[in-house]
Amino acid sequence: MAKFKQVQQTFLFRKMVGFWKNVVRNYRDDCSDDDFFDVVRDGVDHDKGVELIEAAYTGSEIESMEKARYRFRRLDLSDSLDDVFQSLWNNERMRWKCRVVLETLGDYMLSNLAGDDVDMLEGRFKELKDVLKLSDLESDILLMAYVCSQTCFSWPCRVDDRDKPLFYAMALDTSYGEVTAAMSAKSKLFKYNLLDGDFDFNRRTLGGYMDGSVGDAIDRRFYRKCEVSDALPWDYYGDLAAHDGSLVVRMLSNRSNRCNILLYGAPGTGKTSFARSVVKKSGRAAFEVMQGDDNGKNMRSEARMIGIQVCNEQEDPAESIIIIDEADELLRGGPSSLGMFNFDFIGGKSTEKGVTNSILDDMKIPAIWISNAPIEAMDESVRRRFDYSICFERLNNAQRLAIWRNLVEKHNLGGLISASMIEDYASKYETSAGGISTVLENVARMNPAAGEVAELVAALMKPHCMLMGVKERGRFLPAKDYSLDGLNIKGKGKVSPGRMVKAVRNYLDADFSAAGEDRPRMNILLFGPPGTGKSEFVKYLGRELDRKVLVMRGSDLLSKWVGESEQNIAKAFRQAEAEHAMLFFDEVDGLLQDRSNAHAGWEVTQVNELLQQMEDFNGVMIAATNFSCNLDPATMRRFTFKLEFGYLDDAGKRTFFERMFKTTLSRDEADDLCALRNLTPGDFRTVRQELYYLGDAAGNGERIAALKEECSLKKDRGEAGRIGF
Amino acid sequence: MHTGSNSYEVQDLLLFDDEESQGSVARRMPMAHSSENAFEEFKLKMVMRIYGISRDIAKKYIARRKGEVEALYRKRTDELVNAERESYMLDL
C-alpha cells in the first residue's frame, strides 16, 4: 500500500541551486533545453523574474531581442520564465547579462533556503561519507548524481554519458581531470555501486536509505554481529573438521589480512553451521552481512556489497571474520546475470564482475563466503581469488547418522528414539540437516508416547521428503528365505556365487596402501534374462558383507540438461566412496550403450564418464543388465568379474519349487516341472503371490500349471521355441 | 523568511510505493517568498554589478528604468486598446 512521507528538503534544494549556479557560470554554449531554467520557473515568481530582466537590460536591448529572427532567440516576456531565459541565454552578445541575472536569482533562491538545521538527507550524506571514507569530491559527485535523479535539475543541452564527467566538473566548479579520476571504474563510487554504468545515482543501492524509507544507521543496516557460542561442537564434523576445517582454522589463526574462504554446494548440507563452528574454533568475532532489511525485504546485491566493504572498513581485521551467507548472486557477477545461462542483457556484467573481484582483493578481514550456486556459475576470475574452498556434497549416510544422533540428543528424545531407529532413519530419509532438525523439533513439541514416536517421525518425514523431492530409500535387503541354492550362475573360471562373496570380502578387507600397491578395481557385471535373481544377489551380497548398497537407476542419474547426467554419475561414485557403500547400477544397459550406435554427443560423453569413473573408483561397483550384448565393447574389460545368471536347471527348479511352496514333489510332478523351459526364480515368486492372493488351496498340479502359463508369456522360449536345426 | 519545510505544500507529500519505484522525491523547486526589501536589495546589487556603478546611481537608474518600462507598457496598452476599438468600429 502506498504511504505518504513528509520530508524536509532544504539541503537538497540548497545543493541543487548551488550546482545549477555553477553550471550557469561555467557553461559557454547555446542552451537547447529550456528545462535547464525550470529551477527559476519553479523557484521565482514570474513578475519578479521579469523585473530583474528589465532592470538588467536596456529598453533597446529588450526591443531588439523581441524582434529577433530566430524563434529560440526571440524574447517574449509574457512567456513562462524558462522560455524567457532560454531566449536571453541564446542571444550570445548579451549572454553575460543573462548570466548575472540568473546568478542573482540563484542567490535570491538560496537566501530563501538558508537555515542552520541539518535535515535527514544532509545527515545521511555525512554518515555515508564518513563510513565509506569518501573524499569531499566523491561525496559531492554522489550528491550531484542524487540531485539529478531527485529534483528538477536539468542540463542545458543533451549530455551523453561519456560527457557527464565534464558537466559534473562544471556543476562542481572543479577540474575535469579530478572529476574523471573520481568517476573512473576503479573509484569508490563504482566499487560501492553508488553510481551505475551511466554515471547516474544508483537507486538500487541506497535509494531507500537516502529517502528515509529505511531508518537504520548505515553500518547496522548492512551487517551485524553474529553469535556463535551455540555453534555445533568441532568434533561433530568428523573428517571435515579434521582435514579441511583444521586447515582453514590454521589459515585464520594468524591472519589479519585478506583470506577468502568459499563454502559451496547443495542447500541444506550444513555450510552455514560449519562456518559458525569455524569462527568459534578460531576464537574470532563473527560479523554477518545482512540479507534483508528491517522491513523484511531482501537486500539487493549492490547493497550487500556495500555491507561487506563497510564491515571491512569498520571492524578489526585481527579479531574478526565476515560471514557472507547466500552469496550466490554476489559471486555470479551481479543481479543482471539471469539464471543458469548467466546471460547479461544490459551489458554491465564486466563492471559488476570487476567489482566482485576488486572486493575480494581488497578484503582486510578474513571472510567466509557461502554459496549454493553451482561452481560453473562463478566466473573463473572470481573463483581463483579464494584462498581455500570446501565443496559440500549432499549428506552421506554417516553424516546423516551423526546429525540424527546429535539432534535426538539436543531435543531430549534419546529415551524415545533408539540407536537402531536412528540408523534406520538415516539410511531411509536422505534429507538435509535442516529437514531432520525441523521434524525432530516438531516431534519433541508434540510430546509423544514411546510407542507412537516411530509412526510420528514417519508421518512428518514423508511429506517433508515429498516437498523437497527427496526419494525415500527402503532397506535394500534380500527376501528372508533367500539362498544361493538352486541358482544357475555361471562365472568365468568357475567363479561360484560363494567364491564371489569371498572375493569381494577379500577386496574390502585388504589394506593395499600398506602393501604399497595400487588398489585394484572391483567392478562386477551381472547379466542374464529378467527374473534370474541379479538384484536379489546384490542384496544378498550387501547383507553378507554388512555393507550399504547405494542403488542408482536411470531416474537418479539421467537429466534433460546436457552435461548434468555426467555430473550425476560422478556424484554417485563420490557418494558411494564417502559412504563406503557398494554402488549398484541397475539396468546399466541404458547408461553403457554401444557408442557406435550413438546419435548425439551426449550419449558418448555419458558412457565415457561412466567408464572413467569405473577406472578411478575406490570401492565395489556392481552393474546389472538383461542385455549384455548392447553394452559398449569397452566396458567388458573394466569388469573384474562377469557373472551370467541363467534360467534354472532341473535341479534348481526342484529346489526352488520345494523351498518356495514348502512342499515335496512326486516323481511325475518333478518330470512335469522339469519339462518347463526358461523358468526363473522370479516366476516362482510371481506364482506364489498370485496363488496367495487368490486364496484357493492349491496343489502342486495347479502350481506347475501356473508356472507353465508364466513361461508361455516369455518372448524367449529357449530350446522349446527353437525352429530348424 | 522561508525556512524549509513549513512552506512546502502538496509537492512535499511524497508518494512511496517501495524503495525502487519512488523515483523523484521532490522534482519541483519551492517558490521563494522573501520580503520585498530583500528582493530590492538583490536587484540593486545586480544592477551595480552589471553597470559597475555606485549604489546611489544604481538606485536612480532602477527608478528611471522603471519609469521607462511603465511608459512602454502604457503605450503598448493604449495601442492595443486603439486597435481593438478600430476593429470594433469596423465591425459596425
DSSP assignment of A373-399? S-GGGS-HHHHTT-SEEEEEPSP-HHH
Distance CA A260, CA A367 (A): 5
Q: Which grid coordinates belong to A137?
A: 569530491
Chain B within 8 Å of A7 (Cβ-Cβ)? yes
Confidence of residue A294 (pLDDT cuts 50, 70, 90): low
> Over the range A552-584, which residues count as b (16 or more CB within 10 Å of their CB) and which as e?
beeebbeeeeeeebbebbebbbbbbbbbebbbb
For A583, phi and psi rounded to 5 degrees? -100, 125
> Over the range A154-163, which residues count as b (16 or more CB within 10 Å of their CB) and which as e?
bbbeebeeee
Chain B within 8 Å of A297 (Cβ-Cβ)? yes
With 0-12 CB in 10 A as exposed, 13-18 as middle and 19+ as buried, what is A655? Answer: middle
CB of A552 within 8 A of CB of A583?
A: yes
Chain B residue numbers touching A115 (CB-CB < 8 A): 3-4
Query: What pLDDT score does A10 carry?
Result: 85
CB of A416 within 8 A of CB of A448?
A: yes
Q: Look up residue A337 and give its DSSP letter.
A: S
| Chain A residue at shortest CA distance from B39 | A108
Distance CA B7, CA A199 (A): 33
Query: What pLDDT score does A279 carry?
Result: 92
Distance CA A690, CA A683 (A): 10
Chain A residue numbers touching B6 (CB-CB < 8 A): none
Query: What pLDDT score does A515 carry?
Result: 60
Chain A within 8 Å of B35 (Cβ-Cβ)? no
Chain A residue numbers touching B47 (CB-CB < 8 A): 55-56
B20 and A117: CB-CB below 8 Å?
no
Run of H or E residues at A714: none
Query: What pLDDT score does A336 carry?
Result: 40
Query: What pLDDT score does A443 carry?
Result: 92
| Chain A residue at shortest CA distance from B26 | A151
CB of A73 within 8 A of CB of A138?
A: no
> Distance from B92 to chain A by nearest Cα, in Å?
32
Q: Which of A5, A107, A119 sits opposite B14 (nearest CB)?
A: A5
Q: Which grid coordinates belong to A522?
A: 572391483
A287 or A615: which carries more pLDDT confidence? A287
Query: What pLDDT score does A215 carry?
Result: 57
Distance CA A81, CA A37 (A): 7
If we measure between CA atoms, which residue out of A507, A479, A418, A496 comes closest to residue A454? A418
Q: Which of B13, B29, B46 sits opposite A42 (nearest CB)?
A: B29
For A97, phi and psi rounded to 5 degrees? -70, -40
Chain B residue numbers touching A3 (CB-CB < 8 A): 16
With 0-12 CB in 10 A as exposed, 13-18 as middle and 19+ as buried, what is A255? Answer: middle
Chain B residue numbers touching A45 (CB-CB < 8 A): 31-32
A13 and B20: CB-CB below 8 Å?
no
Q: What is the pLDDT of residues A102-140, one digit of tens each?
A: 999 999 999 988 776 667 888 888 888 887 888 999 999
Query: What pLDDT score does A630 carry?
Result: 75
Chain A within 8 Å of B45 (Cβ-Cβ)? yes
Query: What pLDDT score does A53 carry?
Result: 96
Distance CA A167, CA A145 (A): 11
B16 and A4: CB-CB below 8 Å?
yes
Q: What is the pLDDT of residues A72-109, one digit of tens each?
A: 889 999 999 999 999 999 999 999 999 999 999 999 99
Q: Which grid coordinates belong to A679?
A: 523358468
Q: Which of A44, A59, A151 sits opposite B26 (nearest CB)?
A: A151
B42 and A108: CB-CB below 8 Å?
yes
Interfacial A residues in 200-239 facing B (CB < 8 Å): 203-204, 207-208, 211, 213-214
Query: What pLDDT score does A599 carry?
Result: 66
Q: Which grid coordinates belong to B80?
A: 492595443
Q: Which grid coordinates belong to A277?
A: 563452528
Chain A residue numbers touching B31 (CB-CB < 8 A): 42-45
Cβ atoms within 10 Å, residue B50:
18
Chain B within 8 Å of A59 (Cβ-Cβ)? yes
B25 and A150: CB-CB below 8 Å?
yes
A115 and B14: CB-CB below 8 Å?
no
Amino acid at A360: L
Q: Is the pLDDT of residue A244 over 50?
A: yes
> Distance from B36 to chain A by nearest Cα, in Å?
10
Q: What is the pLDDT of residues A253-268, one digit of tens each?
A: 876 678 999 999 888 7
Chain A residue numbers touching B1 (CB-CB < 8 A): 112, 114
CB of A154 within 8 A of CB of A23?
A: no
Amino acid at A304: R
| Chain A residue at shortest CA distance from B34 | A112
Write down how long chain A is.
725
B72 and A59: CB-CB below 8 Å?
yes
> Over the range A284-297, which residues count as b (16 or more CB within 10 Å of their CB) and which as e?
bbbbbbbeebeeee
Whether the pTM exceeds 0.80: the reply is no
Q: Which of B1, B22, B47 sits opposite A55 (nearest CB)?
A: B47
Q: Which of B13, B29, B34 sits opposite A6 (nearest CB)?
A: B13
Chain A residue numbers touching B65 (CB-CB < 8 A): 54-55, 58-59
Distance CA A614, CA B53 (A): 99
Instruction: Work out whether strand A285-289 and strand A260-265 pair parallel, antiparallel, or are unpaired.
Output: unpaired
Distance CA A117, CA A577 (A): 69
For chains A and B, CB pairs below 8 A equal: 141
Chain B residue numbers touching A203 (CB-CB < 8 A): 19-20, 22
| Angle at A173 (CA atoms; ends A169, A176), nearest 5 degrees | 30
Query: For the residues A493-517, what does the mean pLDDT come to?
Result: 74
Amino acid at B8: Y
| Residues lower than pLDDT 70 in chain B | 1-27
Contacts 24+ apart (CB under 8 A), A24-30: A24/A99, A24/A102, A24/A103, A24/A106, A25/A99, A25/A103, A25/A173, A26/A170, A26/A173, A27/A156, A27/A170, A29/A156, A29/A157, A30/A72, A30/A89, A30/A90, A30/A92, A30/A157
What ranges make up the beta strands (E) of B1-40? 13-16
Query: What pLDDT score does A214 carry?
Result: 60
Q: Which grid coordinates belong to A662?
A: 514348502
Residues 6+ apart with CB under 8 A from A679: A647, A648, A653, A656, A673, A707, A710, A711
Which 3 state secondary structure label does DSSP give A543?
Answer: helix
A5 and B50: CB-CB below 8 Å?
no
> Over the range A21-50, which residues count as b (16 or more CB within 10 Å of their CB) and which as e?
bbbbeebeeebeebebbbbbbbbbeeebbb
Residues 6+ apart with CB under 8 A from A103: A21, A24, A25
B24 and A114: CB-CB below 8 Å?
no
- According to DSSP, the residues that pair with A440 across neighbouring strands are none
Run of H or E residues at A724: none
Query: What pLDDT score does A298 carry?
Result: 65
A615 or A596: which carries more pLDDT confidence? A615
Query: What pLDDT score does A351 carry?
Result: 40
B65 and A119: CB-CB below 8 Å?
no
> Distance from B78 to chain A by nearest Cα, in Å?
18
Query: What pLDDT score does A494 carry?
Result: 63
Query: What pLDDT score does A255 carry?
Result: 65
Q: Which grid coordinates belong to A704?
A: 506347475
Query: What pLDDT score does A117 carry?
Result: 65
Run of H or E residues at A215: none
Chain A within 8 Å of B31 (Cβ-Cβ)? yes
A115 and B31: CB-CB below 8 Å?
no
| Chain A residue at shortest CA distance from B44 | A55
Distance CA A513, CA A380 (A): 36
Q: What is the pLDDT of residues B37-63, one digit of tens each?
A: 899 999 999 999 999 999 999 999 999
If we measure between CA atoms, which residue out of A102, A51, A306 comes closest to residue A188? A306
A55 and B62: CB-CB below 8 Å?
yes
Chain B residue numbers touching A114 (CB-CB < 8 A): 1, 3
Chain A residue numbers touching B5 (CB-CB < 8 A): 6, 8-10
Question: Which of B17, B45, B46, B72 to probe the A interface (max A CBs under 10 A)?
Answer: B46
A111 and B38: CB-CB below 8 Å?
yes
Chain A within 8 Å of B52 (Cβ-Cβ)? no
Query: For the residues A478-482, what does the mean pLDDT come to?
Result: 72
Largest CA distance in chain A: 138
| Angle at A81 (CA atoms; ends A75, A84), nearest 5 degrees | 15
| Chain B residue at shortest CA distance from A63 | B72
Chain A within 8 Å of B9 (Cβ-Cβ)? no
Q: Kindly write down the DSSP assignment for every residue of A262-276, as one continuous string.
A: EEEESTTSSHHHHHH
Q: Which grid coordinates belong to A331?
A: 559471486
